[in-house]
Amino acid sequence: MSEENARTSTVVVGCAIVDGRVVEGVPALPDGAVWVRGERIAAVGPRAEVLAQAREAGDHATVDLGGAYLTPGLVNMHTHLSLALPGTGGDGVKAMNPHELALYMADGARRTLLSGVTTVRCVAESNHADFALRRAINAGRVPGPRIFTAGRALVCTGGHGHDNPDTLECDGADGFRRGVRSQVKAGADLIKVMISGGIAGEHERITTRQLFPDELAAVIETAHAWGRRVTAHAGPAELIAEAVELGLDCVEHGYELTEAVAARMAERGTALVPTLLVTRCKEFFDELGVPEWMQARSLGAGPRHLDSYATAVAAGVEVLLGSDMPPFWHFEGTTASVRELEYMSETGIGPARALYAGTLGPVRWLGATDDLGTVQPGRFADLIAMDADPAAHTSAFRGVRWVMTGGRVVRDDQAGWSVG
């Protein structure tokens, strides 16, 4: 491990600093510096000023990024570290015993962190292994991103994903209230609910209703009473419209939005995590042995999905990064997280807004702005560096070459090492 990792005070220099506040008029800081003490950022500013502050306080290490652009780490809002799609790849995950699954998820967490994703929102994980993984990461026993998790997603009997241990079957308003409380009891930061069919359910359609209004109202009311936000796997506009009126906080996928529903989402502050990759990833499906029926449904939904996303953007809906595919997965020349962000940028929001959608926007939804999302004093030092400006070109994230989490460098390509 490098010397700077052993110290509690580090000054990062040789960088231009930019974050999601660029969309709000906060410009990049050229030739900037970041002073990190312990896990958090102590100071940010021009290089000479920050170095003077650090010298006055005592011993510190200096890390020179050689002219890189420094941003907060990416936040992936639709993550399944225990993903098990239909097909041979998913069957292998389903066959794992609890110990194997824990190690598999820990490896995925490590890869996720090294790819530049320093925070994830898990939206359905098997058998509550996510809570054990989060504790291990927080204790420093394994490397990985900060985890916000929904625990097991709530589904109706036979509903979307019911055949995986990452969901909990519920029925009726009382059943769904118990479901919410069970996940809160386990430690969930948010609640995920499946309100429609999807591309991975053989005996359903994307448009299949899976919760009735009283059931969904029970989920949202109970979660909000416990201070948890709710996100919903949802495809058709009609069901999304009902959910938005009931107070839904976020929509996953949103395959078939209309102008009227998108406008209402924007008005009510309901965010969208579009997961554009899931309807344009044949290479990924082939790699996992996903059956033809699912591939046809997924890829066939692609054009309408893209139109739906464009409709949401035009209406002013808050759109946030989420890949659904494992965040670190190598796909179309980069990682799934970066490719998703590129699609979002290219087909609607542009690079500056994409930087926001991959960092500060998700953190605001998570209610974690005191700790994450910007390069500011007091925030955790979860930082990544690349050689091009991501506020000008989203593809800059393809060049992530340095990663810090909680003040500890875990990847440095110029030095030729990482934590794994």
Q: How far is residue 237 from each of residues 77, 160, 199, measured CA to CA in Å?
A: 21, 17, 16
pLDDT tens-digit map of 329-375: 999 999 999 999 999 999 989 999 999 999 999 999 999 999 999 99
Q: Return left, alpha or beta for 299; rule: phi > 0 is left, psi -120 to 50 is alpha, else beta.
A: alpha
Range of weakest confidence among 45-59, 181-195, 198-212: 198-212
Q: How far is residue 54 from each of residues 44, 157, 232, 390, measured CA to CA in Å?
A: 11, 59, 46, 28
Mean pLDDT confidence for 399-418: 95
Split at pLDDT 50, 70, 90, the class of 209 is very high
**What stretches of 314-412 adopt beta strand conformation (E)?**
330-331, 334-335, 383-386, 402-405, 408-412
Split at pLDDT 50, 70, 90, the class of 76 is very high
Q: Six-digit token pair at 94?
A: 């389903």
- pLDDT for 418 equals 87
- pLDDT for 4 equals 42
End-to-end CA distance of the chain: 11
- pLDDT for 161 equals 79
Q: Which CATH number fits domain 3-73+373-418: 3.40.430.10, 3.20.20.60, 2.30.40.10, 3.90.1150.10?
A: 2.30.40.10
- pLDDT for 6 equals 43
* Domain ranges, ordered by start, for the chain: 3-73+373-418, 74-366
Residue 178's identity, in one-letter code, is R
Mean pLDDT confidence for 240-259: 97
- Indicate if 74-366 has the same CATH topology as 3-73+373-418: no
Residue 233's identity, in one-letter code, is H
Distance CA 396, CA 69 (A): 9
7 has pLDDT over 70: no
Report field, pTM of the whole predicted structure over 0.75 = yes
Distance CA 26, CA 32 (A): 14
- pLDDT for 108 equals 98
Mean pLDDT confidence for 40-64: 94
Task: Please calculate the CA angle 326-308-118 and round it to the nearest 5 degrees.
Answer: 30
133 has pLDDT over 60: yes
Distance CA 321, CA 361 (A): 9
Distance CA 160, CA 391 (A): 37
HSE, side-chain direction, 13 A CA sphere, residue 415: 17
- The residues near 294 (Cβ < 8 Å, ≥ 6 apart) are 85, 86, 87, 199, 200, 202, 285
SS3 141: coil
Q: Which CATH architecture has domain 74-366?
A: Alpha-Beta Barrel (3.20)
Range of weakest confidence among 91-95, 262-266, 392-396: 91-95
Split at pLDDT 50, 70, 90, the class of 379 is very high
